[in-house]
Amino acid sequence: MAGGNKLTEAAVKQAKPLDKPYKLADGAGLYLEVSPTGSKYWRLKYRYAGKEKRLALGVYPTVTLTKAREKMREAKAQLAEGDDPGAIKKQTKLAKQFAQANTFEGVGREFLDKRKQEGAAEVTLRKIQWILDQKLCPFIGGIPVSDITPIQLLAALRQIEGEGLHETANRAKRVASQVMRYAVSTGRAERDIAQDLKGALVTTKAKHRAAIITPAELRPFLIAVDGYTGTSEVKAAVQLTPMLFQRPGEIRHMEWAEINWEQEHWEIPAEKMKMRQPHIVPLPWQALAILRQLQPLTGYGQYVFPSARRGGRPLSENGVLAAIRTMGYTNDQVTPHGFRATARTLLDEVLGFRVDYIEQQLAHAVKDANGRAYNRTKYLPERKQMMQAWADYLDTLKA
């Protein structure tokens, strides 16, 4: 065969596996290694700095005989220049890995891992992940963070605006800014280019969550809840929403292990709270009665309000909301989150409780006169009294 080559495409194709690996030489150090499994690997034997070395050139049939010979000639040319083809291959591989880690997608993934390690709420992590995967990476994911221009980021954000999702576009800009600032802090970008887009996006006026703030509006709602004919779990969640006035996510993620029956309160761990501080919710006797009725139905599992459709998961975000809609209330009239405003208003204006007790029970990040941050046991006896008075007041309204 010309040039001392000994192999043909037919010979390579027809090479059968044996009990042990064997080699078929092609000449000039190039050979095919056939493994007992039938896999066929191209190898180049060469000498560099007095040492015999091996260079992997690929797997047949992805790399054909012709392609393997081309790669062998490239390696020989590198040797002629005094370079080690094996070292060059390693450097190229590392450079590709480094480039991949420095793309917006790679840095975004790192940023998300960092937020996980910092204990960010699951709902926050899901939102960041969704924005990265669905809204930003399809457009700028493959670009190195140091090369992304403001106009490229704006084009991605304009796509979101084009779907009419103005609030999502603004949120995506904030996520992009967080990723860019992380890239700056880890030495992979010079600056946060998202800052150049200030004022470029349509800003929508903040909508306050609809809330009942008068006794006259609250009474028919409470009566409607008692008449709700859905599942026991959903009904209990709807009943406890105005009574305990915690955030909807905290209510639906309530676990049986968090109920302290002896102390008659609900102990919410820090990782579930918006302010990342553990929180105590005193339970009035009405709430304890609802929970005891529910215990035979769901007490065998983790969550007080498990999802009927998603095994091992809590009630969905729309569970309580859908029940309220079934009762005839629109999104402009009542939202689960709005009951925080209901309690905040009526506990102050009707029942006359101190605002700092109410704010503490709402788990707002309020510092005391000495600048000390939130303490879960602060005003606990007073809050216990307040929560019982609130539940009694709700009963009085219904009656």
Show the tokens assigned to 310. Answer: 């998603």
Compute the distance between CA of residue 387 and CA of residue 285 in angstroms, rounded to an integer. Answer: 10
374 catalytic, yes or no?
A: yes
Show the tokens assigned to 274. Answer: 């918006």
Compute the distance between CA of residue 146 and CA of residue 23 in angstroms, rounded to an integer. Answer: 46
Q: How does DSSP assign 139-169, residue by residue?
A: HHTTSBTTT--HHHHHHHHHHHHHTT-HHHH
337 catalytic, yes or no?
A: yes
Q: Which of 235, 247, 279, 344 is catalytic?
A: 247
Q: Could you give the count of Cα atoms lying within 13 Å of 336 in the half-sphere of its Cβ?
A: 24
Show the tokens assigned to 171. Answer: 């949120």
Q: How far apart are the first and last CA of the chain?
A: 103
Show the tokens assigned to 203. Answer: 């800003």
Compute the distance between CA of residue 352 and CA of residue 282 in angstroms, rounded to an integer. Answer: 19
The CB-based long-range contact list for 307-310 (8 Å cut-off, 24+ gap) reads 308/231, 308/233
Q: Which of 235, 374, 383, 384 is catalytic?
A: 374
Q: Which of 274, 276, 376, 378 is catalytic?
A: 274
Q: 313 in helix, strand or coil? A: coil
274 catalytic, yes or no?
A: yes
Q: What is the DSSP letter of 36?
A: T
Residue type, 17: P
Compute the distance between CA of residue 75 and CA of residue 88 in angstroms, rounded to an integer. Answer: 9
Q: Which of 45, 115, 127, 364 is catalytic?
A: 364
340 catalytic, yes or no?
A: yes
Show the tokens assigned to 295. Answer: 């215990």
| Residue 231, phi then psi, degrees to nearest 5 | -65, 155
253 catalytic, yes or no?
A: no
Angle, helices 150-162/166-185, rounded to nearest 10 degrees: 150
Kindly list the catalytic residues.
247, 274, 337, 340, 364, 374
